[in-house]
Amino acid sequence: MGKDETKLYYYLTGALICLMLLMRRFLNAYQTFTTVVFCSLTMFLLLVALFYFGITKTAGRGIKRRPWSLLALLGSAVYLFVLMIPLGLFGFSNYIKFSVPISGSQFTWITVNRYPIAITAIVVYFVMAFIGIYFSAFARDVIQADGDHPFQVFKKTARLVTLKHYGYKIFIVIAMLVGVCLFIIGLGWVNQHVENTALFLLSQGLIDTLAPFAEILIVSRLLAVKFQKLSGTYLLALYGVALVLFAALSAGITQAQLLPSFSKPTIIVHRGVINHNAQGNTIAALKQNSRYHFPFVEMDIQETRDHHFICAHNDDLRIPGDGLKEIDQLSLKTIKKYHHVDMFSDYLKTANRLKQPLIIELKVTNNSDRHMGTRFADQFKAGLTVLPHRVHSVGYPFLRQIKHQIPSIHIGLVTMLNFGNIREYNVDFYTLQHLTANPFLIASVGATGRPVYSWTDDSRLSMVRMEMLGTSGQVTDQAFRLSNLHVNYQRDRWILLLNSLQNYL
Q: Using 50, 70 and 90 to split pLDDT, how confident is the model at 277?
A: very high
Per-residue pLDDT for 172 more than 60? yes
CA atoms of 261 and 224, how far apart (whole Å): 49
Q: What is the pLDDT of residue 258?
A: 54
pLDDT, tens only, 358-396: 999 999 999 999 999 999 999 999 999 999 999 999 999
pLDDT, tens only, 206-224: 899 999 999 999 999 999 9
- The chain-wide mean pLDDT, for the chain, equals 91
Per-residue pLDDT for 228 more than 90? no
Q: What is the pLDDT of residue 78?
A: 94
Alpha carbon of residue 465 to chain centroid: 14
Per-residue pLDDT for 194 more than 60? yes
Q: What is the pLDDT of residue 184?
A: 95
Name the class of domain 266-489: alpha beta
Q: Quick one: CA torsion of 267, 272, 275, 276, rounded to 10 degrees? A: -160
Per-residue pLDDT for 480 more than 80? yes
Looking at per-residue pLDDT, the higher value among 130 and 99 belongs to 130
CA atoms of 307 and 322, how far apart (whole Å): 21
How many separate helices (H) and strands (E) can be counted in the chain?
Answer: 22, 11
User: Cβ atoms within 10 A of the Cβ of 58, count?
Assistant: 20
Per-residue pLDDT for 240 more than 80? no
Q: How far is CA 217 from CA 50, 176, 203, in A?
A: 11, 10, 21
- Mean pLDDT: which of 12-21, 382-391, 431-440, 454-463 is highest? 382-391
pLDDT, tens only, 484-501: 998 888 889 899 899 888
Looking at per-residue pLDDT, the higher value among 448 and 346 belongs to 346
Instruction: Kindly report, as residue ranges, where domains of CATH 3.20.20.190 are found in the chain.
Output: 266-489
E strands present in 200-328 = 266-270, 296-303, 309-311, 316-319, 323-326
User: What spatial distance separates the first Cα and last Cα of the chain, rounded to whole Å?
Assistant: 29
